[in-house]
Amino acid sequence: MTASRDNAGRFRIGTVSPNPQGRPKRVTGVDAAVTRALSEKVTVTEQGRRTRRSKLDITATQLANKGAGGDLRAAKLALDEARKAEERGAVQAAREPVLMESDHEIAARVIARLRQIITDGDPS
């Protein structure tokens, strides 16, 4: 160990830190600020009940309501976002692991062995 550390590897009390300014602050951009602002929870009253919802959820509800009320610009935006969400869901569904032929064969052999164990009672 170096002279500035004890046997456990910690810095000795009273010695100068090798990093006096500490860890640098994380750089935040516009994306992080918008995400943070939209994820904040606020209290809203809906149908006489007070609930806490995220600003993003409230904004989506207002957008859908305005579109349903006849605002064509809001309707187009809501439909475009719904289409994008469906496409993302379809892409994620396509990424689901697909069982190959060999996987089916292995599963069939395991099931056959389990059935044999159950009927015979002999694990070997």
The tens digit of pLDDT for each residue in 14-48 reads 777 777 788 888 777 898 889 899 999 999 998 99
- Angle value at C-alpha 102, between 98 and 107, nearest 5 degrees: 85
pLDDT tens digit sequence for 49-101: 999 999 999 999 999 999 999 999 999 999 999 999 888 888 777 776 777 88
So what's the pLDDT on residue 18? 76
Confirm if 36 and 29 have CB atoms less than 8 A apart.
no
Amino acid identity at 123: P
So what's the pLDDT on residue 8? 87
* pTM over 0.85, yes/no: no
